[in-house]
């Protein structure tokens, strides 16, 4: 079996995903083909993999086609434009009044990250059509997840599942808040990436939501997760993404710099956590810059298999060992009160037959309303990315909840034009 990793110079994801593959018996003799456009980062990735033990065969190449050739699974972890483009995603909107914390999913940052990324993903899909095995599966970890996966579906039709760790991470966090063994937790979670909701959260047959409502009055929890807890109290269900992220997808929490500093920078933090700046404008950009400057990024993989879905999907398909994951897939009757064809995050059963999404039906109407506001932006961003439609870029920003709450149509127009000019080299569809 061959696994191609595109963007293997990603310090965090490469180490995590390769570690999981090396710790999975049915995968441990796979060929792992590492590909990156940065030779230095690629060499670091190769040392990481080879230092992890196991019997995998490791190759490293700057040639994407060579990496993809005969691959069974292709994993994407790249960031088109790197830190330079990401800094523009944060800093240019800030000059126009839009303060983002992460800026990789929605908002001006998410829109432009999608515009940069979609052409590369479609080129990769064409490589897969020519060179990979006919049933090769694309496992996408690249944000903005929903925009990218929707564009892949419309632009190529290749089998794809988008993967994130927010469902696993949040469910583990809630179990910890309630002092419930994680192995005893059962849940149903659905929505869109970074804004899915736990429709059920149980300990075996016991509904844990009443206990969670009692727990979130604690000041330490409210300090760490002010946005998620307020959304929980207002809308009735707990959302999957951290407060820093979640604050960017609704119009309430980031209207001014003063509000951000007063309400979102947490009062309680976990020492050593990279979310110390949770909610702060540019908080995650600062974290990325610190990671870039790490003196020893080539530490070997950890010893325990983690909770990323990637290796479990590969194992399930290769060995026909069924597993349940939450994946990002086209909405073909899965969530019936969201736009048909949009990208939704729902439970999926995976086995030797592939990835089988589970129909959820209607979301509670208030949750569907929150999702729809985000899907509106995603739909216009996908149109812009696939068609090279400049007006659709402007319209995506105009209907974005955070952008519309923070600034005026005139400023939004100026911001979009500045971003289009600054990032023209990564936007071939607008040439």
What does the alpha-carbon distance between residue 266 and residue 262 come to, in Å, rounded to a whole number?
A: 9
Distance CA 180, CA 241 (A): 20
Contact 395, 377 (CB under 8 A): no
Instruction: Give 347's strand partners.
Output: 326
* SS3 sequence of 303-344: CCCCCCCHHHHHHHHHHCCCEEEEEEEECCCCECCCCCCCEE
- Write down the catalytic residue from 165, 194, 245, 394: 165
Q: Is 171:212 a contact under the CB 8 Å cutoff?
A: no
Calpha distance 10→36 (Å, rounded): 9
Q: Extract the tokens encoding 105.
A: 């999913």
Euclidean distance between the first and final Cα of the chain, in Å? 39
- HEC secondary structure over 241-305: CCHHHHCCCCCCCCCCHHHHHHHCCCCCCCCCCCCCCCCCCCHHHHHHHHHHCCCCCCCCCCCCC
Backbone angle region of 289, left / alpha / beta, with phi > 0 → left and psi within -120 to 50 → alpha: alpha
**DSSP per residue over 168-214, as a string?**
HHHHHHHHHHHT--GGGEEEEEEEETTEEEEEEEEETTEE-HHHHHH
b/e burial code for range 25-44 (CB count within 10 A of at least 16 → b): eebeebebbbbbeeeebbeb
Active site residue 307: no
* Beta carbons within 10 angstroms of residue 207's beta carbon: 11
H helix or E strand, kind and range, residue 371: helix 365-387
The answer to whether the peptide bond before residue 190 is cis (omega within 30 degrees of 0) is: no
Given a contact cutoff of 8 angstroms between Cβ atoms, the answer to whether 367 and 231 are in contact is no
Residues belonging to the active site: 165
């Amino acid at each position: 079996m061959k696994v191609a990793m595109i963007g293997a110079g990603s310090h965090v994801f490469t180490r995590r995903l390769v570690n999981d593959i090396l710790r999975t018996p049915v995968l441990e003799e796979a060929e792992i083909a590492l590909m990156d456009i940065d030779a230095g980062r690629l060499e670091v990735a190769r040392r990481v993999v080879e230092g992890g033990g196991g019997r995998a065969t490791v190759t490293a190449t700057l040639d994407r086609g060579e990496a993809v050739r005969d691959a069974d699974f292709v994993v994407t972890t790249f960031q088109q434009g790197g830190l330079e483009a990401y800094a523009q995603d944060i800093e240019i909107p800030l000059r126009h009044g839009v303060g983002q914390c992460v800026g990789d999913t929605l908002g001006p940052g998410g829109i432009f990250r999608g515009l940069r990324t979609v052409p590369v993903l479609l080129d990769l899909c064409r490589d897969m059509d020519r060179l990979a095995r006919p049933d090769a599966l694309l496992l996408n970890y690249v944000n903005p997840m929903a925009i990218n996966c929707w564009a892949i579906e419309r632009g190529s039709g290749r089998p794809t599942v988008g993967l994130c760790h927010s469902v696993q991470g949040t469910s583990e966090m809630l179990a910890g808040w309630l002092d419930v063994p994680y192995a005893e937790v059962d849940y149903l979670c659905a929505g869109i990436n970074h804004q899915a909701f736990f429709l059920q959260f149980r300990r075996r047959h016991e509904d844990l939501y009443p206990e969670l409502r009692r727990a979130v009055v604690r000041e330490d929890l409210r300090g760490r997760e002010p946005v998620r807890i307020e959304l929980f109290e207002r809308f009735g269900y707990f959302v999957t993404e951290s407060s820093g992220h979640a604050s960017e997808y609704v119009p309430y929490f980031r209207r001014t710099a003063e509000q951000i500093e007063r309400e979102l920078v947490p009062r309680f933090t976990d020492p050593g956590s990279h979310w110390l700046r949770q909610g702060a404008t540019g908080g995650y950009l600062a974290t990325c810059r610190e990671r870039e400057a790490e003196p020893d990024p080539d530490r070997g993989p950890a010893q325990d298999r983690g909770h990323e879905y990637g290796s479990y999907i590969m194992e399930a398909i290769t060995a026909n060992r069924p597993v349940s994951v939450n994946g990002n897939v086209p909405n073909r009757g899965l969530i019936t009160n969201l736009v048909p064809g949009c990208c939704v995050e729902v439970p999926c059963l995976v086995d030797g037959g592939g990835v089988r999404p589970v129909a959820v039906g209607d979301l509670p109407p208030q949750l569907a309303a929150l999702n729809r506001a985000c899907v509106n932006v995603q739909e216009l961003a996908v149109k812009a990315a696939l068609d090279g439609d400049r007006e659709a870029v402007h319209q995506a920003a105009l209907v974005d909840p955070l952008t519309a709450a923070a600034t005026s149509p005139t400023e939004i127009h100026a911001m979009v034009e500045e971003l289009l000019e600054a990032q023209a080299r990564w936007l071939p569809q607008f040439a």
